[in-house]
Chain A
Amino acid sequence: MYTLNLAILIPFIVALFIPYLYRRLPGVHTGWFVLVVPAALFVLLASYIPTVAGGETVLSELPWIPSLGINFTAYLDGLSLILALLITGVGSLVVLYSIYYLSKERESLGHFYVYLLMFMGAMLGVVFSDNLMVLYLFWELTSISSFLLIAYWYHRRQSRYGAQKSMLITVTGGIGMLAGFIMLSRMTGTFSIREIVANIGQYTDHTLFVPAMLLILLGAFTKSAQFPFHIWLPDAMEAPTPVSAYLHSATMVKAGIYLVARFTPVFGGDAVWFWVVSIVGIVTLFWGSFTAIRQTDLKALLAYSTISQLGLIMSLLGIGSAALYFDVADENSVYFSLAVFAALFHLVNHSTFKGALFMVVGIVDHETGTRDIRKLGGLMTIMPITFTLAVIGSFSMAGLPPFNGFLSKEMFFTSLLRVTELSFFSIETWGLLFPIIAWIASVLTFVYCLILVFKTFFGKYQPEKLEKEAHEAPMGMLISPVILASLVVAFFFFPNILGEYILEPAYGAVMPTFVEANVFEHSIYAWHGFNTELMMTLGVVGFGIVLYRLLPSWKWIYAIFPAKLSLDSLYNHSLLTLERKSTSITNRYMTGNMYHYMVYILITIIAVVTAVFAYTGAFAIDTSNDAPISIYEGFIAVVMAVTALSIPFAKSRLTGILLNGVLGYLLALFFVFFRAPDLALTQLVIETVSASLFLLCFYFLPEWEKEKRRPKVKMLNVFIALAVGTLVTTIALSVQSNRLFDSISAFYENAYELAGAQNIVNAILGDFRAFDTMLEVVVLLIAGLGVYVLIKLKSNKGGRDVEGE
């Protein structure tokens, strides 16, 4: 029923109990409990192989937020199955390896396995989710758990740096991807990937089509460490080796590949997609292999090799997408779609050999205490099994027989040679560059594979440089890499079992139309006869050996490009600059000076209100309905204006306060003129009390100083004050000129019938709108309490009572 949904959730559920097990059973290595989870899931998922190979898919849907169309939909087809098997299979092996790698006493295993299980569940969620939003949720969970795993040894500065870097880059891409998903769902009206694939044909000319594509690709490229976002992967090598083997070779970095493959039926056949994916892939392939050669740290070398292999897979997916440009019946299409098949094949192969290689490097690190190839050498006789594993892994990576890397490399060359025969997307001119660059990258790949094997295991054994006495690893640590290496060889001899049961359904998921038309048939042969691809492979070997021999004489090429201009320093520099600039900008306007903030607020008010009024044409001055001015009111108004204007010029504070009192009393007088007896009363009393309060403060406050302001500032203040005043006047006049409705006050004139009151104002305050009055009382109460507390407050310096001073 909900088996798949449960399969995704099981790692999370188990993760909840891990800390408990870790604390209650300190005698047993926690990894043994964890090992059950991926192993059981692997068996469970493997049971789906026949179903999927039969061309069927499994779908189960749990409602989550149905009103928004977001449901926890698990969908299993060939593509998700491949990745799920990798996740659980490699996951089991990595957990087994980590049991022997991480010490029970020294490491905080509870954390490690919680993060690892969280990652496993999230990754399964990514490959099984059919709903875009749920996919995004799990996608971010993989970012977070990866962040936690990279910074597992959080006391190391380098670990924290690497974790932060990977987090920033992958999450940036993730946010871009979310935007792309939202565009896609707005465009097609659904969150389900299957439905989008089914209906995308109507939307290829939609304005959001290309932006959505590019944003989704941004997510895929950042996660899969494609150029120029690859810089986080080498720094992520600060993580424990099992993590590097699992996350940064077999699973998480494949998430971007998965995404590209999953969306190939949606975007494939489009020129932009083809170009972006292929070119980024090829550039990454070249740059990764080129940079790997200069590394001295084995893990960094493997990180760059991972980057380059991911670029290879990415470029194959890009080229394969061109097949969708043609009609299904066209033989061209099948011909080009081989690239997709090659990509999937290499995806599996890469996971096997790269996992094994990472584990090998971990063993070397574990047994010698260093990963620096300048200190290593001559380990062949001391660690024979490890050496064998390293050879198998490296030569598979280099693409030599009898290992599986050879098969996918041949297919890779075949696909790239076909690009030269393409005649669309205006590719004729540049098509030839693809195989050439790929071939050069393969030569470089071969060189770093040789470095990996020869510098580590051949040459002179240098015990004085090593921290420990080197010796062969314990058996338990070797189990996982041995299994992976056996797979490497097995896939070479029996590729078609894998091809038929796993790769073909996955291919079908990427190229659904082809399967329906039943035009698809691939077999994998190790021997194609003497053709161009074989020549290319021979060339790779020949040139590779030559280059490796001459390595010291062409090392200078790496010095051409100064470290200052590398992407890493660009990243660091932009991060620093961002922080510095934002700090300086913030410090520039957040001065801590009240006056400045008041200026910002007032200027904003002036600008916004003026703009709105001007824009809506609300300024209207119509004095025709004015009541005539009587002599009294005119006189009082003039006096009031003069009083007000003289306050800023007052020499002493006493004058200022008294003038303010005058203003208050004149206001009361106005209230009398306007027939508001209650107001006049209140105003008189309040003004008296306020004035006395002000005078009370005199005793404690110093005499007014003359405002020492620079003339410029004074001018600005005058300008702001005048502008605000003018604005208020204009608004007041405009409001009076635009009366829309009559007042509702006629209703309150029934005060006697409704409330038994003759004083309408009091009736409003006490009956009609008594709520206001109640809260106004509360305001007064709070103000009184506040005053009391402020005065009674013990000062925190020495705790003296203020009153007693």
Chain B
Amino acid sequence: METMMSVLVGILVTVATYLILSKSLLRVILGTAIMSHAVHLLIMIMGGFSRDSSAPLLGEEAASYTDALPQALILTAIVISFGVTAFFLVLAYRTYKELKTDDLTKLRGHDDNE
């Protein structure tokens, strides 16, 4: 299980990295979004699995609970990455409005000497 999930995370990271290396702005942002998925999944599996533990709700009165700490961390991470992604998207929209291109290779800024 852990091995399979680790491989899955690796695949997600690979795809995300590949997208981040592309020219189009939208692809890059998509890459960052996938990268967040991968990271959240990674935190999750690092918490470990066990078949017979229940969700971290004390009302369940189970013998053992799943580790709640990684879940709290992921919850925080999800919200933050959402905020960042939203900001990126609006930034991309403004960039395109102003500069009429979404090609990162053309977004070079200005030379200091010009």
Contacts and interface: CB of A to CB of B under 8 A. Distances in A.
B104 A728 contact: no
Given A633-B1, A743-B69, A765 B75 contact: yes
Nearest to B103: A705
Given A728-B42, A795-B98, A676 B71 contact: yes
A758 B96 CA distance: 48
14 contacts: A621-B3, A627-B49, A629-B1, A653-B26, A676-B56, A676-B74, A694-B89, A700-B93, A702-B96, A709-B23, A732-B46, A759-B57, A761-B71, A764-B69
A675 B64 CA distance: 12
A328 interface: no
Given A705-B24, A728-B9, A679 B53 contact: no
A629 B34 contact: no
Contact of B2 (A627, A678, A721, A758): A627
Nearest to B44: A674
B66 A675 contact: yes
A700 B97 contact: yes
A736 B8 CA distance: 15
Given A745-B67, A761-B72, A733 B3 contact: yes
Given A592-B109, A627-B2, A675 B27 contact: no
Contacts of A705: 23-24, 103
A773 to B, nearest CB: 7
Interface stretch (A193-201, A317-325, A379-387, A663-671): A663-671
Say which size band chain A's interface belongs to.
Answer: 35 or more
Interface stretch (A124-132, A462-470, A683-691): A683-691
Interface of B: 1-15, 17-27, 29-30, 33-34, 37-38, 40-42, 44-51, 53-59, 65-69, 71-72, 74-76, 78-80, 82-87, 89-94, 96-98, 102-105, 107-109, 111
A686 B17 contact: no
Which of B30, B46, B84 gathers the greatest number of chain A CB atoms within 10 Å? Answer: B30
A682 B74 CA distance: 10
A602 interface: yes
A512 interface: no
The secondary-structure label for the interface of chain A is: helix
A793 interface: yes
Nearest to B80: A779
B92 A697 contact: yes
Nearest to A629: B1
Contact of A676 (B50, B66, B83, B92): B66
B15 A647 contact: yes
A629 B83 CA distance: 34
A667 B10 contact: no
Which of B9, B48, B49, B68 gathers the greatest number of chain A CB atoms within 10 Å? Answer: B68
A671 B66 CA distance: 12
Which of A602, A674, A749 gathers the greatest number of chain B CB atoms within 10 Å? Answer: A674
Given A598-B20, A628-B1, A726 B55 contact: no
Contacts of B22: 707, 717
Contacts of A664: 37
Contacts of B6: 729, 732-733, 736
Contact of A759 (B1, B33, B56): B56
